[in-house]
Each structure stands twice: as structure tokens, then as C-alpha cells.
Chain A
Amino acid sequence: MLEFVSTGLQLAVPLLLASLGEIYAERSGVMNLGVEGMMSAGALASFAITLKTGNPALGLLTAAIVGAALSLAHAFISVTLRGNQVVSGLALVMVGCGLSSLIGRGYVGTPLPMGSRRIPALLGQDLIFYVSVTLSGILWLVLFRTRAGIVIRSVGENPAVADSVGVNVHAIRYLCTAFGGLLAGAAGGYISTIHNGMWVDGITAGMGWIAIALVIFATWDPAKAVGGAVLFGIVESAGYSLQNFGISQWLLNSLPYALTIVVLVVASSRSVKRRIGAPAALGEPYFRE
């Protein structure tokens, strides 16, 4: 009966991974709208490597590296060259999706053998689900309870102050953006290799954009991202149970976004804003005056 919860949780994994990475990038002040492109490239890389080696772990690792490589291009443009982050991010989507579509043609119509998709599972959820939930816990601890977290947040809130106390703003931003790419690539790899076991052009189907929405929904908090990802995943899959009651699939699709707007408004009341608002220097390049 609660199968849709289980399906929802599976769907939550790539959303969670991608949004955790993006949370770190944005916390450091770099907005990377290229998540969809990095996921798409990661999805293909992981599929190709798993097909060749039969080892999904190796596939996911490659996906992460490819995602990170693409995000470095974005970091270079937005951090070192102080280019426009929105334009660079949108361009990254084109490059990532284009590359995977171009190279992926040879892989269309080839399924991944069942054996090479199997990874350890517990209570109906696979290992990666538990890994990503644990990861979000760790990332929450790092961000809010360690010195490293303070440094990252200060770079995103007020880079000039961080700089003045000797933090290398550019290095932190590079690291966080690359970390975001790493997780986005892995999320794409999960979709193609573990979740679907196949490559088709456009397999990420807009999940990268949902992950960006999720970052906001979670108010840049890794722990809340778990709840958000599960909610988004379950709303998506519960739609099919609601269809029996005549509820429109399309209106239901708008629900996560409408919820996000509500959260934005509620989260912005003055008293809580300081704690959960967007990083103040998000999207702003930093110049040493």
C-alpha cells in the first residue's frame, strides 16, 4: 500500500545528492544553474563505464569526476574571471546536455545487465539512499558545527570580512563549486545506472532544475534538504494514487513549486530571516578592494 513512499524515496536520492552539492556551492556564494547539465553528463559517463566494467561503483565515481570537471569550468568563469554566473550556468547546461546527447548516441537501446546494477539494499532502499542521508547529516554538521563550515558560510555571506581575516575566498569557492559538481555528477549516475539501468537522451528529465528548487525549499540547510527531497519525491510518486480520485496530474506537478513559494514567504519573516535566508553574497563575484 505504501509502495509510493518507497518509490518516492528512490526518486529522492538523486534530488538529495544534487541539492546537497548545490547547497554547498551556493553557501560559498556561487550560484551554479548548470546542475541539469552536470547530471546529464554524469548519467552518461556512469552508464558507459558501468557497461564496460560491470562495476557500478566505478561508474558513479567517474560520473562524480565528470561533474566536478564541468563545474570547474563554471568556477573558473564565475570566481576567477568574475563572469555572470547565470549565463555561465545556463551555458553549462547546454554543454553538459549537448555532450551527453552527442556521445550517448552509441549507447541508446543497450540495457545495463541486471547484475551490474545490483548494490546492497536494506528495507527496500539501496545503499546509496542511506549513504546520501548520512552524508546530509555530515554536511549539516560540517556547515553549522565546524570551523570549516563557518569559513564557507562567511565567504558566502561577506567575502570581504572573510578575506580580511585571512580566508582564501577564491579557493573556498572553487572547492565548494567542485564539490557541488561532484555530487551532481553522482546524482546523474544514480539516475542512469542504479535507478533506470539505461541511457536515453534526456534521461535526467529536468531533475537538475528540481534540485535547484529544492535548495531554496530547504533554505540552504543540508538537513532540511532530506525532508524536502523526500517530500518532492513522494509528491511526484503519490500523484498516481491520487489520479484515481480524479486529481489532475498537471496541477499536482505544480504543487512542489507552489509549496516552495509559500516556504520562501514564511521563511522570510524578519525574525527567522537571519538564520535561514539566502547567502547574502550569492551570485556576487568578489573583488579585493
Chain B
Amino acid sequence: MRLERSKRRNGVLTRLIFSFLAVLVASMIYMLQGVDPLDVFSALISAFTTKVGFSELLVRMIPLLLISSGLALCFRMKFWNIGAEGQYIVGAMAAFLAVESTRQPIVALLSAFAAGAVLAVPPALMKSRLGVNEVLSTLMIYYVVYWVFQYLIHGPWKAREKVGEVSYGGFAHTSIIPAELGTVPGTRISPVMLFLALSSAVLIYFVMERTKLGFEIKAFGGNPKAAEISGMSYFRTAALTMMISGGLAGLAGAGDLLAIQHRLIPEFPCGYGFTGIITAWLGGTSPLGLIAANMFFGGLLVGGEEMMIVYSLPFGAINVFNGLILMFVAAGEFLTRYRAR
């Protein structure tokens, strides 16, 4: 049997088929647990068909789309940034400091982008100058950032809060920020962030198709040796790509702070940076692919909550279900990219 890289990317159908297989396996598990699979899937679908479900889906899609757009760019040049969670946290921290001192959400968003971008450069530098594996450096930097964040929340940034006559202190959270981004009435969607998220997906497409950077990313993603010989700088390309990626992740962190949470708490980082890896890989660098992948994943998250609410399904079952879908989609990738001859 010979394998060939497929010319046409007719991935949608294959992915659907493999998702269907995942659904079959998941159904078997549910039946063993005494739950009717049809109930479960109707709960999942309601994330797309009900007003509340869909608006919550969009709430989760916004940070995921921002993060995965940037990651898709990195992955295209085969630079495996898996530290987006750290860049997300640093963005939120920068936004917090900026909005505390200037009370301007715009300044907060800009500083978040800058902070995320700055944090993303060292892995590019380490990779190009020292050959340090970026999967490892980005993951380690994430951990350091995470614990420094926890230190600040539990220490220097801890704030007292006055309610009525009483002042409460000692709780691990910062003060509530003095300015915020507005949301669409009746939902938790911030129009500014939704616009930024959608344009980030388009921006990625534009970078890839219309700029020199996009050309270089493709070159290094395809044949790094040839790209280097033809005079392109690996460091420059990697650093720029990582700055876009880190900046977008930082923006996502700022958005969640300014529009949704309004204060930093220990559980503020909730794993979007890691989920974004999956959606970036599912979506590729096409705007529609990215939006579809992130909506799909947002739907899985919201659908999971629906399943818990309506059918008292334990969180573990939902975790298994999502994991299986991903495994099958990862398995199906083979058939999308390669054909047997």
C-alpha cells in the first residue's frame, strides 16, 4: 500500500464520519451506564438551538477563537506553542494593572496584547539560538506564570472589599476593576470581544495569504532548511508569529477579565489555552474552519453543562465523551490528509 498526500482537502466529510463513530462508542458507554444516548445528544444539540445555549456557546467561543487563531499560525510553521494559557494569564494580569491605573478598557486591551506578545518571544529565541524544544519551553513558562499569578492573588494583590458598613479582607481575590466592557443585553457576550475574535480569524487568513510573513511561515512549515538557505531568518519569523499568537491569547485573557469576571480570582485561568490547541489544530488557518471548530467546542462545553442539568450525567461521563470525540477526530485526520493508492 502506498500513501500519498491528498491534493484536495475534503476533510469535512471524513471528520463527520469519525465524529459519528465517536458518538457510537459514546452511546455504548452511556447505555452501559443506564442512560438513553438520545437524551444525551438532544441535550448536546440544544446548545446550538436554544437562545441561552447559543449565546453561552458564543461566550466560550470568543476566548477560544482568539487563542486558536494565533496558535493556528504557530502550528502552520510547525512551532508548537502550547503555553497559550500562560499568555492568557499574563494578558489578564496586564489588563488588570492597566485598567486599575487608567480606567480605560482600550489601554487594558493594548497592554494585554503587548504582555502576551512579550511573554511569547523567549521560546522563539531559545528555539532559534539554542535549539530548545518549544513544546517544553512554552509549557514550563506557563507553569512559572501560573504560580506567580497565584502568588499575587494570594499575596500582594489581595484586596479588601466594603459591603455596606463592613470591610471584608483576607479573601484571595483582587479588587473589582473600575471599568469594564459592555455586553449585549440579556447575554454575557461582549460585542467588542466578539468582533476582535472574528477579526482575528480573518487576520490570520490575511497574514497567511497576503503578507511576506505568511510566505515565510509556509516556507519554514514546509522545508525549514530550504527556507534558511534562501535567506529567511528563522528567529524573525518565529518571534513575529509567536508575538501574534501570544498577543491574541493575552487579548483573550483581558476580554474575560473586562467583560465577564471583573476581578482576578484563583480559578481565573480555566484551561482555554489548552482547549485552544485542539481547536487550532481542528480549524487550521482557514477563518471558517477556525470559527466552526471553536463553535463546535463551545457547543461541547455548553452541551456538557446541559447534560448535567437535564439528565444528571456526571462530569466524568461528559469528559469521556469529549475525549472520545477528539480521539476519533484525531484518528480521522489520517484519512483526510493521506489516501491509499
Contacts and interface: CB of A to CB of B under 8 A. Distances in A.
Q: Do chains A and B touch in the complex (CB under 8 A)?
A: yes
Interface of A: 31, 37, 73, 76-77, 81-84, 86-88, 90-105, 201, 212-213, 216, 248, 250-251, 253-254, 257-258, 260-261, 264-265, 268-269, 273, 277-278, 282-283, 287
Given A213-B139, A216-B140, A265-B130, A77 B330 contact: yes
A30 B274 CA distance: 19
Interface of B: 3, 33, 80, 82, 126, 130-133, 135-137, 139-141, 143-144, 146-148, 150-151, 154-155, 274, 277-278, 281-282, 314-324, 326-327, 329-334, 338
Contact of A98 (B154, B155, B319, B331): B319
Given A265-B126, A265-B130, A268-B130, 17 more contacts: A81-B333, A82-B338, A83-B330, A86-B281, A87-B281, A91-B323, A91-B330, A101-B315, A102-B317, A104-B316, A213-B143, A248-B155, A250-B151, A253-B147, A254-B146, A254-B147, A282-B133
Nearest to A206: B143
A269 B126 CA distance: 10
A257 B143 contact: yes
Given A83-B333, A83-B334, A87-B278, A95 B327 contact: yes
A148 to B, nearest CB: 25
Nearest to A252: B147
A84 B333 contact: yes
A86 B82 contact: yes
A81 B331 contact: yes
A254 B137 contact: no
B327 A73 contact: yes
Q: Which of B132, B135, B155, B330 is packed against the most chain A CB atoms within 10 Å?
A: B330
A273 B130 CA distance: 9
Contacts of B324: 91, 95
B316 A101 contact: yes
B269 to A, nearest CB: 13
25 contacts: A31-B135, A37-B323, A81-B333, A82-B334, A82-B338, A83-B330, A88-B327, A90-B277, A91-B327, A92-B327, A94-B326, A98-B322, A98-B323, A101-B316, A105-B314, A213-B143, A250-B148, A250-B155, A251-B151, A253-B150, A260-B136, A260-B140, A264-B136, A268-B132, A273-B130
A266 to B, nearest CB: 9
A228 to B, nearest CB: 13
Q: Secondary structure at chain B's binding surface: helix, strand, loop or mixed?
A: helix
Contacts of A102: 33, 314, 316-317, 320
Contacts of B316: 97-105, 201
Nearest to B127: A268
A32 to B, nearest CB: 12
Given A92-B327, A94-B323, A102-B316, A86 B80 contact: yes
B131 A273 contact: yes
B185 to A, nearest CB: 35
Contacts of A283: 80, 135
A99 B322 CA distance: 12
Nearest to A268: B130
B126 A98 contact: no
A264 B126 contact: yes
Contacts of B282: 87
A92 B323 CA distance: 6
A283 B140 CA distance: 18
A248 B274 CA distance: 27
A104 B320 CA distance: 14
B279 to A, nearest CB: 10
Q: Which of A81, A92, A100 is packed against the most chain B CB atoms within 10 Å?
A: A81
Q: Which 5 pairs between the two chains have the least Cβ-Cβ distance?
A: A98-B319, A94-B323, A101-B316, A102-B316, A254-B147
A76 B333 CA distance: 13
A129 B317 CA distance: 34
Contacts of B3: 287
Contacts of B327: 73, 77, 88, 91-92, 95
Given A91-B330, A251-B151, A257-B144, A86 B277 contact: yes
Contacts of A212: 139
Given A83-B331, A86-B80, A268 B323 contact: no
Q: Which of B140, B314, B324 is packed against the most chain A CB atoms within 10 Å?
A: B140
B136 A216 contact: yes
Contacts of B278: 87, 90-91
A264 B148 CA distance: 20
Contacts of A77: 327, 330-331
Nearest to B133: A278
